[in-house]
Structure 1
Amino acid sequence: MRDYQRIAAAVAPCADRRAAMQSVVDALWGGLHDAGVSWVGFYMMDAAAGQMILGPRRDKPACSPIGLHGVCGQCCRGGLAIVVRDVRELGDNYVACDPRDRSEVVIPLFDDGDGCWGVLDLDSHEVGAFDDRDVAGLERVLNRAGFRTRP
Structure 2
Amino acid sequence: MLKSKRPWKEIHGQIQALIQEQFQTLTAHAHDPSQLRLRCMNIFIAAAWPRLKEHGVSWIGFYLADMPMPNTTCMLLAAREPKPACSPIGLHGACGHSFTSAKPMVVTDVAELGDDYIACDPRDKSELVVPCLDSVGNAWGVIDLDSFTVGSFDQLDALHVTNLLKVARLSL
Q: Provide Cα deviations, 1:65-107, integer angstroms capped at 9, x if missing partner.
A: 0000011011000010000000011111100000000000000
Q: Structure 1 residues 148 and 49 mapped into 2: Cα distance closer, same or farther (>3 Å)? A: closer
Instruction: Give the SS at the match of 2:76.
Output: strand
- Give the alignment partner of residue 42 of structure 1, picking from 62, 66, 74: 62
Q: Higher helix fraction: Structure 1 or Structure 2? A: 2
- Give the alignment partner of residue 102 of structure 1, picking from 125, 135, 145: 125
Query: How far did 1:146 drift?
Result: 1.2
Instruction: Give the SS at the match of 2:63.
Output: strand
In the alignment, what sits opposite 1:79?
102
Instruction: Give the SS at the match of 1:112.
Output: coil
Please give the alpha-carbon distance, in whole angstroms, between the structure 1 residues aligned to 2:94 and 2:46: 22
> TM-score, length-normalised on structure 2?
0.82
Which of structures 1 and 2 has the bigger CA Rg?
Answer: 2
Please give the alpha-carbon distance, in whole angstroms, between the structure 2 residues aligned to 1:22 and 1:50: 24
Please give the alpha-carbon distance, in whole angstroms, between the structure 2 residues aligned to 1:54 and 1:123: 14
Q: Is the 8 A contact 1:51 1:65 kept in 2?
A: yes
> TM-score, length-normalised on structure 1?
0.93
- Give the alignment partner of residue 74 of structure 2, picking from 37, 47, 51: 51
Q: Is the 8 A contact 1:4 1:140 kept in 2?
A: no
In the alignment, what sits opposite 1:135?
158
Q: Structure 1 residues 49 and 83 mapped into 2: Cα distance closer, same or farther (>3 Å)? A: closer
Q: Work out which structure has the larger RCO, using CA pairs closer than 8 Å and 6 or more positions apart in sequence.
A: 1
Q: Which runs of 4+ in 1 moved over 2 A?
A: 12-15
Query: How far did 1:25 drift?
Result: 1.1
Q: Provide Cα deviations, 1:82-136, integer angstroms capped at 9, x if missing partner.
A: 0000001111110000000000000011112432100000000000000011111
Identity of aligned residues (%): 44
Letter of the 1:28 counterpart: A
Query: How far did 1:49 drift?
Result: 5.6
In the alignment, what sits opposite 2:6?
2
In the alignment, what sits opposite 1:123?
146
Instruction: Give the SS at the match of 1:66.
Output: coil
User: Which shifted more, 24-33 or 117-126?
Assistant: 24-33
Number of aligned pairs?
149
Which consecutive residues of structure 2, in runs of 5 or more, have no partner in the other structure? 20-25, 28-35
- Give the alignment partner of residue 18 of structure 1, picking from 31, 34, 38: 38
Q: Higher strand fraction: Structure 1 or Structure 2? A: 1
Instruction: Give the SS at the match of 2:153.
Output: coil
Please give the alpha-carbon distance, in whole angstroms, between the structure 2 residues aligned to 1:135 and 1:26: 19
Instruction: Give the SS at the match of 1:121.
Output: strand
Cα root mean square deviation, aligned: 1.3
